[in-house]
Amino acid sequence: MTVRPLVILPDTRLRLISEPVGAVTDEIRKLAADMLETMYDAPGVGLAAIQIGVPRRVVTIDTSKDENAREPRVFLDPEIVWSSEEKRVYDEGCLSIPEYYAEVERPDRVRVRYRDLTGATQEIDADGLLSTCIQHEIDHLNGVLFIDHLSKLKRDRVNKKFAKAAKRGEAA
């Protein structure tokens, strides 16, 4: 497993729409293992492949609180097939937008269909942090960032801050 460099805003790759996985190969399993290693190293609770520069529909998540009791999950080609009408606000952050957090409203519960690392189709009902996290990561697969859920004013401020930092060659 390898820790890979993160793609940071304003990198335009974050706006790419990721391609379906296709066959589950050793290359895809290695990608998922590297993503988990990168996510834990950051540290974060979720990572989409595009965040390490790979435009494939792969997501890794671990919302466990205890480093000694990790619960890594890998979602290939995930799609939300149902979401609740009830909403929930959560203070979100993103490894590709370091040190920036904002409240985002999303459906409280979702049902997600995906394939696992064996290629088998699975469904999971998620609520709480897992629901927020999987919605956030699926957004990444579609070129959407959590700041896109904010007001135009807030979004413009974040984009400007990270663009200036990138010009200076430093973190925002």
Domain definitions of the chain by residue range: 12-167
Tallying the residues shown for the chain, one arrives at 172
**Segment 91-149, tens digit of pLDDT:** 999 999 999 999 999 999 999 999 999 999 999 999 999 999 999 999 999 999 999 99
* pLDDT over 70 at 76, yes or no: yes
Annotated catalytic residue within 27, 103, 105, 137: 137
The model carries a pTM of 0.95
Name which of 146, 57, 144, 149 is nearest 98 in CA terms: 146
> Was 140 annotated as part of a binding site?
yes
Mode of pairing for the β-strands spanning 73-83 and 97-107: unpaired
> Was 133 annotated as part of a binding site?
no
For the 12-167 domain, the top CATH level (class) is: alpha beta
Q: Does residue 137 have an active-site annotation?
A: yes
pLDDT of 1 reads 83
> Was 94 annotated as part of a binding site?
yes
Q: Which residues touch 131 (CB under 8 Å, ≥6 apart)?
A: 88, 106, 107, 108, 109, 110
**Segment 120-132, tens digit of pLDDT:** 999 999 999 999 9
